[in-house]
């Protein structure tokens, strides 16, 4: 997730820097009057601001969606893990009970087989 945050920050930085460089180049190469150029710069800056806000909103929406998916997957994995744990616990308890029964039977067999000492 940290890489994506860094990628998004780099994207926004590049976007803003590109907009500023474009504005500077347009100032140098524009055959317009000062008032026209200022109006153009103001309009472009508003347009760039709107695009950045839209990109940030989209990124936030995607991040929220991914977080929700991760939360859902984590809950699902937790439930699966709990089911496996309970199943293994039941198997172990059954095996322990079987072992105890077998030990009791063997003990009974051994005590029945011993001749009484007089």
Residue 22 has a pLDDT of: 83
Distances (CA, A) of 106 to 93, 96, 103, 111: 20, 15, 5, 9
**How far is it, in rounded angstroms, from Cα 90 to Cα 117?**
43
Dihedral sign for Cα atoms in the order 86, 91, 92, 97: positive
Residue 76 has a pLDDT of: 95
pTM of this structure: 0.46
**How far is it, in rounded angstroms, from Cα 115 to Cα 111?**
9
pLDDT digits (tens, 9 = 90+) for 39-96: 888 898 899 889 889 988 999 999 999 999 999 999 999 999 999 999 999 999 999 9
Report the percent of the chain where pLDDT is more than 90: 40
């Amino acid at each position: 997730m940290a890489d994506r945050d860094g990628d998004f920050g780099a994207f926004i930085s590049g976007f803003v820097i590109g907009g500023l460089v474009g504005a500077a180049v347009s100032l140098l190469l524009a055959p317009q009057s000062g008032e026209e150029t200022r109006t153009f710069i103001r309009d472009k800056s508003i347009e760039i601001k709107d695009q950045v806000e839209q990109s940030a909103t989209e990124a936030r929406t995607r991040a929220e969606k991914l977080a929700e998916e991760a939360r859902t997957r984590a809950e699902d994995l937790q439930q699966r893990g709990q089911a496996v744990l309970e199943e293994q616990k039941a198997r172990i308890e059954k095996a322990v009970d079987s072992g105890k029964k077998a030990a009791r039977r063997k003990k009974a067999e051994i005590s029945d087989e011993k001749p009484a000492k007089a």
